[in-house]
Structure 1
Amino acid sequence: MQTASFTGFIYALFYMIAFYYIFRFLVKLFLPLIVKKVVEKAGENMQKQQQHAQDNTWKKTQSKDEVIYNTANTKNPRETKKVGDYVDYEEID
């Protein structure tokens, strides 16, 4: 069985610190590129979904040949909502 030495501890500590700083450098270097690619891909997917939905509504609109006008609502104005009865009162001296 081997025993730990002080120099071995220093080397391990040095490698951990070196790995930490190299990892931070690489993350700062590549993370913006990765995020940019992800955002672009999400934008493309949303644009495809919107185009697909727009194409579907356009096809549905083109297939309808008849137009129906509802004239019953235009002749009779809407009644206002009745909340309660109107009560007229006078002040008593």
Structure 2
Amino acid sequence: MISFLKTILIVLLIYFGLKFLFRLATPYLMRYISKKANQKFEEFFNTNSTAASHQQREGDISIDKMPSRNSRTANKVGEYVDYEEVE
């Protein structure tokens, strides 16, 4: 019976100890994640803005791809069937 109580006590101590450590570590982990995300966003927007500024002047319009005319007919689901109600 005593070994069972010791086991339960050890499990509870480990549980509460890990819970306490996670509470202490969470702010540091969140700061690290937010800094990394901020760096990724800055890299993404800096590379895109510099590449776009070299290619076009401000106010210019460019169209990369024109939609094909067959795309409207390819999106049809089925054929319309007229029906009459039967009573």
How much does 1:32 deviate?
1.1
> Structure 1: 5+ residue runs without aligned partners?
1-5, 68-93
Give the structure 2 partner of residue 14 of structure 1.
9
Residue matched to 2:56? 61
Could you list the per-position Cα deviations for residues 7-62 of structure 1 after superposition, in whole angstroms to 9, with x for gaps in the alignment? 11001000011001100110010011001100110011001100000011111026
Q: Give structure 2 stretches of 5+ with no counterpart.
A: 61-87
TM-score (norm 1): 0.59
TM-score w.r.t. length of structure 2: 0.62
CA RMSD of aligned residues (A): 1.4
**Larger CA Rg, structure 1 vs 2:** 1
CA distance in 2, matches of 1:32, 1:23: 15
Identity of aligned residues (%): 14
Q: Deviations over 1:64-92 (max 9, x none)?
A: xxx8xxxxxxxxxxxxxxxxxxxxxxxxx
